[in-house]
Structure 1
């Protein structure tokens, strides 16, 4: 096998390495999907959590008749697995939790160009420039805050290095969504500004957490007053324990990098053994049923017109998100190196 490319290998340092998990396929082998051949199984490499995706895969089997194998792992891990396997990859469809991993595979020439009937369903800002991947759900970076202790909300994440926020802000530096945000900060503000921000945050006694859920725990217990996280973790908490949530959300204005709207996306691999089945699966992920699952079950944003937004979510068009090409988020290794240099790795 080929060695992992240097520019993406570093991203794996930020996540635990663990074995790929295979989920047994379901359904009748003789079943035939409307647009695919279910006599030949498709294999999905998923960088999204098994707990999240399994119910959706079961719905996909039922709707399409496809026979489906799923291998789970971290998004960066699964993207690197596809690169390592090359022409011999087992993956027909790749599902990634952020645009960066998808952009990496585009650069490596490992994704197939999708037909317009798929790409045209998703707004241009949520798909690859040349059509190699499409977003299947959206998530916004937000500030969650304690309204009892925060009177004047910041207009930018850049303001959080001010002395008034010393020791009061939480981040999850090894979390993929935070690393994607920092990559966006590099693209929007420049390399030097992003590095300086990280160093200034450390100097301002930023509090670090293992993940978004632990960070929101710290917010609710008073350990911090502000957390930088994806919006849907807060909504998840509101669904599960609404009486225990005292924090509120602040969507940053004026195209600030802290308001980045990223995507979970999907793509057909260039060396897929069953591209027809993979296309059927991808079409399902953009169906009303699947899009409704994302917004109602995980409080993410549907990316296909006509799907009713989940309860409490602001319309994505009302978010003042930064002007950025999500394909530019592929340079994750430079972000990991920045985090190391700032003492956050």
Structure 2
């Protein structure tokens, strides 16, 4: 066994096995490096194994998996990498670790704006970058991203770091729509409307609204579902109840969406099984599991959105290509530093 493969076997933190009692399958497997938490993908892997008999081995980390695959090179045990943001998908592409995914199944299931133009990554689910608004202190029910720079919001907005992947995706989308000069003016206006320095994750922004520290915040849709169903930390249900969702630009170009997605390692040792997994993840069955388990939007046309997610309002997604947005992430990151966004509002 190659050293990397042995290390992988020792590092495996989650594996699924065939679920059909009494059946024996060939000793087949697929190795997954995942930025997605095991609890979020376990139901999908269970369903895949039950259908195919292919065992899945998963290594989870919240950082560095693309770089790890690149360092492992030809000895990498990874067959696929699952990730949660266009930024990490694009990073994998730039690292040169991805083999183009060529599949009629995938091309049929996933719309082109959610696939890399060269096939180096494929989107699996979408989440919208929306506005959480205080039910008590915000009356309006429509908003635009551009409006976040309006002085009427001065001292009323919370958000996480400008250098976080989710924020960079939004800023990059603004560059695509408005150009760098106008986007920089907008970002300065947004910065000066902040109630405090950017800090915490998306849930922390909702907590700040609940505490009265700000009135609106940027966040991803699926966090609402995670808070509303959090029995382990019931105080998060109170945070969620204090806000409602507003989908920005619903009346014009649509709301910015980001994606979770998958790449195929160009040195995948189990390439055929990897392709079977990728194709399975785009099928209606798998997309329904994503929708119900993770409160995300399926990308495969015709797959139903979870009832809880429907209750938040109708999503009209911005149809700009995610590949186009990825081109401007570096410019967005430089802009965040240039305007000192993470230092908070100017004095």
Pairwise same-fold verdict (TM > 0.5): yes
Unaligned runs of at least 5 residues, structure 2: 1-9, 343-347
Q: Distance in 1 between matches of 2:333 and 2:117?
A: 25
Q: RMSD of aligned C-alpha atoms? A: 2.9
| Aligned 1:60-209 pairs, distance under 5 A | 60-74=48-62, 77-113=64-100, 114-153=102-141, 155-173=143-161, 174-207=163-196, 208-209=198-199
CA deviations on 1:285-311 (whole Å, 9 max, x unpaired) are 123332122111211111223432201
CA contact (8 A) 2:143 2:246 kept: no
Change (3 A) 1:315 1:63: farther
Of 193, 204, 225, which residue of structure 2 is paired with 1:235? 225
Deviation at 1:333? Answer: 3.7
Q: Distance in 2 between matches of 1:107 and 1:147?
A: 43
Q: Distance in 2 between matches of 1:317 and 1:214?
A: 22
Deviation at 1:59? Answer: 3.4
Deviation at 1:44? Answer: 0.9
CA contact (8 A) 2:34 2:60 kept: yes
The DSSP-based 3-state class of the residue aligned with 1:25 is strand
Change (3 A) 1:316 1:148: closer
Q: Distance in 1 between matches of 2:274 and 2:76?
A: 14
Structure-2 residue corresponding to 1:343: 340
| Aligned 1:254-333 pairs, distance under 5 A | 254-255=251-252, 259-314=255-310, 319-331=315-327, 332-333=329-330
* Structure 2 length-normalised TM: 0.81
Deviation at 1:72? Answer: 1.5
Deviation at 1:144? Answer: 1.0
Unaligned runs of at least 5 residues, structure 1: 1-19, 33-37
Structure-2 residue corresponding to 1:211: 201
The DSSP-based 3-state class of the residue aligned with 2:140 is coil
Q: Distance in 1 between matches of 2:251 and 2:74?
A: 44
Change (3 A) 1:335 1:71: farther
Instruction: State how many pairs are aligned.
Output: 318
CA contact (8 A) 1:97 1:264 kept: yes
* Structure 1 length-normalised TM: 0.81
Q: Distance in 2 between matches of 1:25 and 1:152?
A: 47
Structure-2 residue corresponding to 1:23: 13
